[in-house]
Structure formats: C-alpha cells, structure tokens
Structure 1
Amino acid sequence: MPRKRTKSYPGSITKRAATWRVRLCVGGTYHSFTVPGTKVEAQNFATVKHAELSRDHGRAEAGLPAPIRFSALIEDFKTYELPGLSAGAVQSYRSSLGAFKVFFVDKLGDPFVRDIQRGVVKTFIQWRRSIRFGGLTAGTDALAAGVSAHTVARDRRVLHRLFNYAVDKDFLEANPCARVTAPKADKRDTPILSSGELEALLKAAEANPMLSLYILLLAETGVRADSEALQLRWEDVDLATGFLHVKSAPGRRTKSGKSRFIPLTSRLRAALQEHAATFRMAVYDTGRSPFVFHHVITTRSAIAGQQIRSIRRSFENAAATAKVPAGFRRHDLRHRRVTTWLAEGKNVVHVKEALGHADLATTMAYTHMVPEHLRALVEEQLAPLFIAK
C-alpha cells in the first residue's frame, strides 16, 4: 500500500485563476490570503505566515500587546517619552524621528516593529549618510547631500533608544540596533573666543537688547543655549544675592534633570539689573511677561510678551557681523566658560556644579582645551639647565 505524502506546508492552498488561495487556521481562527506566483511560492508564503500568526497568537495568549507598525511606535514614543526630555534633547530627537519616518515608513512601507532586523538598521545607517533633510519635521524633502558622521551617530543613538523603548513595552523581543555601529566621527575642534572676539560679538548684538543679554548670559554662566537660557523666568533671577536659579521642572527639564544655582558676575548682574528695569514691569496685551527673554513687539509669527523659543538666526547674524571664527555656535560659549574657569584655576568640583554636569569626568574632559598645565612638563625639565655653577 503506497504511503500517503506528507504536506510540507501548513493550511490549504487552492488554485484561483492566476493566483493561489492560502487558508490557515491558528488558535481556532481562519485566515485567508491571495498569493500570486507559483505554487512553491504560495507554499513558502503559507509557512512563513503561519509561523508569524502562531507567534502573534502566543503573545496574545501570554497577555502581551499586539504587534504595532513603526509609525505607531514613533507616535507612542513622542507621546510618552519625549515630554520627559529637556527642550534641546526634544528638538534633536524630533530631527532624528523625522529621518526615521522617511526611511522606515515612507520608503519601507511602515513595517511591523517585530519584523525589523539588524540588516535593516544597517541599511538605514548607510542611507542616512547620503541624505540631508530640509527641516526638522517628518515629511520634509530629502536632499542628495551627505550629513556629518556626528549626525549619523546621533540618529543611531536615538534609534537604539527607540527600540529599547519598544522592548520595554513588549513590542519587541530584542533591540536590532544592539550590534550595529555608526561611523566614527572626528571630534570637532571647538573655537574658543578670545576676549576681543567676545566683545566684538556683543557689539554686533547691542541693537537687540534680548540678544545682547542672551550672549552675555551664555558667556558668563555657561548655561545651555535653549533648554536653560531661554527658559529663564524673572523668579529665577535673584539680583539681591547674586545667583541664577536654573530649575528643572515639568516643561522645562534640564539635561541632567537637576536644578542648580550659578553665581552672577558683576558684569552680568549689572546687565540683568538694567534689563529688568526696562522689561520686567513692561505691560503687553497679554500682561507682564514672566520670561527674561520675550518678544517685545507683535508680528505675524510672535506675540509681544511671549517667550522667545529660538534666537539662533539672530545669533548667527551677529556672529557673521563680528567675524568670529568659522563654524562658531551658541553652545561654544558654554565651552568657553568652562575652559576659562579651568584656566583660571577654579575648583573643578564647583565648575561641575555650576555647569550641571552629571559627573566630574564630563567636566575634566574640557582640560584638553586648556593646555597651560602642560607647561610644567617642559619647565621641570629645563629648570636644571639654568642652575648657576
């Protein structure tokens, strides 16, 4: 008696004109699919799809969430994770999320998160190196111009955190970024303004009192340009005791998540007093502004009294007028503050506390910008040569 042939695929496959009808039963539920191509291709589809449905059924039986698509993961992350970050981090993350949307949603068709493997992440890294976007929001046009290795490395870090979030929410079993590396980037040579260059920058900004104080504040305190400086309220400025209170609170979280006090220099204290005399009691249509940096006139894009949320363009215009070194950024004034403090021999623990660094190692990393202490290596060797006989 001839032996009955055993099927090599699950379910049933029926010929339907130029296609195949595939029926699968998982957990008592029937699923039907129409598959083009050959019967072998339909059989392969049935095998893969049955395994996928069985996995999903097993997750449901275990009380785990249903599979979600990549676009849904982004929205979930933006809703529940971004609000806990500082303003600067949120801006940076939104830039990366925009790139993810173009690649994973627009180009790949919005796959299920569970189906994204390490090879797909590697392809994204390669693709990202050659694509620049016209803006920070998802859906902006991509330009065929490469981005820096720093940008690619940042996107890889954000993607790793996004998939870690998916693992924590049980949308994914393992992080596909785990063994994918981004290209290494040379460290940027940060331009440190001389005293003369800083004065030239302040001179270029003197027609704009908000910008002028903003530049002096960054240079004298080392606060972060967006998440700290532009968040300052009048209640944070204590002119009587000479301290600035950088608060970490919902809606204005600092990078470290901790509040701190920074002493005011006599120059900054005087500038803040003059600024307060002009703007603290000013009354606009919306009332008095609680923000140190606020709009003073109403335009199509701003309302007088409202917080200034971005001052980058005005800063760049002033920097161009002052002819400061090429590539100079607002954050470089923070670098200038820490390096000048260290060069002056200030207590490194106090510097760490004023800057809001999470650990001392971060502060000590700035010592490479202050080479004066290295003179001791030469002076100690040369000293014996000048001993009188």
Structure 2
Amino acid sequence: MTHSMPRRIQTFLEAQAAELDAATNTQLAYARDLQGFSAWLAEKGLNFETTERSHIEGYLIDCEAEGLAKSTRARRLSAIKQIFRFAFEEGWRDDNPAIQIKGPGRAQRLPKTLDIAEVDRLLKAAHTTPKQALRNGCLMELLYATGMRVTELVSLPVSAARGDPRMLLVRGKGGKERLVPLSPPARDALAAYLTSRDAKEEAARARGVPPSKFLFPSHGKLGHLTRHRFFGLIKEFAAAGGVSPAKVTPHTLRHAFATHLLAGGADLRSIQTLLGHADVATTEIYTHVLDERLKALVLDHHPLAKSAKT
C-alpha cells in the first residue's frame, strides 16, 4: 500500500524527536529539506516507494543547478539518507536507495573568532548595560568560560547553578550531558546574578506567580530567554564595546573559547570534551584557526615581512 510522503516525513520526525531527542531546530531543518524533496518527487510523478538512487542523484543535480551551496546540498542529502535508512529499518522498503550516494562535501570555512581584548570589551559592555546588567554579565561570563552552545546556555535549569558550583552540568545535543568548569569570574557573576534573580522570584511568588525552573527565566512561551533574544543582546554588547557587531554572534564566543584554550596549550581531546563534539575531527578546525592567526601575526609584525611588502 502506498502512503503519502508527508505522512512518512511526519512519522520519521516524530521518531527522531522521541528516540534521539533531536533539537527543535534540527527537526525544522529536516522537515524543510524533506518537504522540498517530496515536492520534487511529486513534480516528477514519483513517490517514496518508487524512488531509486538515480532519482535522488537527479534531485541533487537540480539542487546544484539552482546554485545551492555545498553545505545546503550536503544537509539535504543527509536528511534524505536518514529517512531512507529509517524506512528500511521500519520495513517500509526492502532497500535503501540512498545508502551509497556520496555527498558534495562541505567547503571548509574557518570559524570567525575574537581576540582576548575584544572579548574583554564585550564582557565589560555586558556588565555595564543600563538594564539587567547582572543577568547580562552572567550570560556572557558563562558563555566565554564554558564554550556552551547558545541553546544550552539559555535553557540551563536554575538547579544546575545552586551551591556555588565549580562545574556546570550541561545537557547538549542528543540529550548528552557533559561537565564544564567555571572560571572565578564566571562563578562571581553567577553568584551575584542568582541573588538578584531569587529576590525577583520571591517577589513574584508573593503575587502568586509560580517560580521558574530556568536560570534565565522569561515570560515567553519557552519559559526562558530565547536564543534569538540573546543574539540581539550580544549585538548590543558589541556595539557598546566598540567591537564590530558583524563579527559577533553567540557562536563566535564559543569559537573564541576554543581558540584561546588551544593557544594557551590545551589539548584537542580536552577541548572536544568541553565543547561536546562527538568527533575530534570537528574540533581540529581550531588548529587551522590558530595557524591562520599566527600566520597573520608574522606577516603583520615581522620586520622581514614588512620589508617584503614595501
């Protein structure tokens, strides 16, 4: 019996959410990519059950002809591979037409990072904002001290921060947990913010408002500060601190954390653990970032390099 592709996609996404604890943004990306593939199949008079390897390869060729970036095509193929693997495991199909298809690969782009002076200016700007200075300072200190992903940061439970912890338990991608150490400035900022936060919570409780389970509560639907709001905040800190907002995002602080650790002598395996990377190959890109920075340092400051330019 032939089932509609939309229903197949929905079942697959529900399984991803239940079994793998896939993040909401990951599910949305899979949904968009698979809906696009489904529409392409429908235009060709094909369906999920009749799709062959040549059809998937034809779709990827069309994606390239549209001028889609390598990274976008690689992500779309990844989604297609996963749903067909799921279909095979569930018995929807007797084969997996996507299993041997090679992806276009990803163009390696070095992550943008910040030097220590720029990070210092960002931290100072966060600590001196006209409103919510204690919260903002805490957010930035924690982000730079731990290298957390922004979603991990804004959704931290307040229970993780109790008792002046030396380390935070972070729940990352796929529900995997890891411990990240806190620097003294981060611990100080956390303690100061918690005192202020708890006083506000107590006042709210007196008005009949239930307490929040999140470290950074919000009145929004999620119950905590959103990643989009924090994105806007960090741009404000950049502007106030004299750092180009174009080069600053929450992820830039994660990159700075890793790059500065590596420059300070930390080994890749330790950085991999702190960042929550499943594969050390993902962490290795920071060695290239450091190489580029050292190369630029020599070209800009070595006297022989200067004389060669003139």
Report the TM range for the smaller structure's normalisation.
0.7 to 0.9
Task: Say whether the 8 Å CA contact 1:85–1:255 is kept in structure 2.
Answer: no
Residue aligned with 2:180, SS: strand
Match of 1:180 among 101, 106, 109: 101
Gapped regions of structure 1 (runs ≥ 5): 1-65, 132-145, 248-253, 379-389
For residue 98 of structure 1, report the CA deviation from its aligned partner: 1.5
TM-score using structure 1 length? 0.63
Q: 1:188 to 1:179 in 2, by over 3 A?
A: same
Residue aligned with 1:282, SS: helix
For residue 307 of structure 1, report the CA deviation from its aligned partner: 1.6
Partner of 2:184: 266
Which structure has the higher relative contact order (CA within 8 Å, separation 6+)?
A: 2
Partner of 2:286: 366
Task: Say whether the 8 Å CA contact 1:234–1:290 is kept in structure 2.
Answer: yes
Task: Say whether the 8 Å CA contact 1:244–1:263 is kept in structure 2.
Answer: yes
Residue aligned with 1:81, SS: helix
Q: Partner letter of residue 225 of structure 1?
A: V
Residue aligned with 2:168, SS: strand
- 1:292 counterpart = 2:238: no
* Equivalent-residue separation in structure 2 for 1:105 and 1:204 (angstroms): 48
* Equivalent-residue separation in structure 1 for 2:46 and 2:165 (angstroms): 57
Q: Partner letter of residue 26 of structure 2?
A: S
| C-alpha distance after superposition, 1:250-275 (max 9, x if no partner) | xxxx2264322211101111110111
The alignment yields a C-alpha RMSD, in angstroms, of 3.3
Partner of 1:142: none
Partner of 1:218: 143
* Equivalent-residue separation in structure 1 for 2:94 and 2:6 (angstroms): 18
Residue aligned with 1:268, SS: helix
- 1:92 counterpart = 2:26: yes
TM-score using structure 2 length? 0.77
Partner of 2:56: 121
Q: Partner letter of residue 223 of structure 2?
A: Q
Residue aligned with 1:370, SS: helix
Partner of 2:302: none
Match of 2:223 among 306, 330, 335: 306
Task: Say whether the 8 Å CA contact 1:211–1:314 is kept in structure 2.
Answer: no
* Equivalent-residue separation in structure 1 for 2:245 and 2:223 (angstroms): 32
Q: 1:353 to 1:170 in 2, by over 3 A?
A: same
- 1:71 counterpart = 2:6: yes
Q: 1:130 to 1:286 in 2, by over 3 A?
A: farther
| C-alpha distance after superposition, 1:354-375 (max 9, x if no partner) | 2223354544443222339x99
Q: Partner letter of residue 93 of structure 2?
A: L
- Greater fraction strand: 1
Q: Partner letter of residue 91 of structure 1?
A: N
Task: Say whether the 8 Å CA contact 1:239–1:273 is kept in structure 2.
Answer: no
* Equivalent-residue separation in structure 1 for 2:83 and 2:179 (angstroms): 33
- 1:80 counterpart = 2:15: yes
Gapped regions of structure 2 (runs ≥ 5): 299-310
Task: Say whether the 8 Å CA contact 1:70–1:111 is kept in structure 2.
Answer: no
Q: Partner letter of residue 330 of structure 1?
A: P
For residue 130 of structure 1, report the CA deviation from its aligned partner: 6.8
- 1:195 counterpart = 2:116: yes
Residue aligned with 1:217, SS: helix
For residue 111 of structure 1, report the CA deviation from its aligned partner: 4.9
For residue 165 of structure 1, report the CA deviation from its aligned partner: 0.6
Residue aligned with 1:317, SS: helix
Partner of 2:83: 162
Task: Say whether the 8 Å CA contact 2:13–2:31 is kept in structure 1.
Answer: no
Residue aligned with 2:95, SS: coil
* Equivalent-residue separation in structure 2 for 1:316 and 1:116 (angstroms): 45
Match of 1:150 among 65, 68, 71: 71
Residue aligned with 2:109, SS: coil
For residue 171 of structure 1, report the CA deviation from its aligned partner: 0.9
Q: 1:147 to 1:229 in 2, by over 3 A?
A: farther
Q: 1:290 to 1:175 in 2, by over 3 A?
A: same
Partner of 1:277: 195
Q: What is the number of equivalent residue pairs in this alignment? A: 283
Match of 1:232 among 156, 162, 182: 156
Q: Partner letter of residue 212 of structure 2?
A: S
- 1:351 counterpart = 2:271: yes
Q: 1:203 to 1:225 in 2, by over 3 A?
A: same
Larger radius of gyration: 1
Task: Say whether the 8 Å CA contact 2:158–2:213 is kept in structure 1.
Answer: yes
- Give identity over the alignment, percent: 25
* Equivalent-residue separation in structure 2 for 1:81 and 1:306 (angstroms): 24
For residue 340 of structure 1, report the CA deviation from its aligned partner: 1.3
Q: 1:201 to 1:148 in 2, by over 3 A?
A: farther
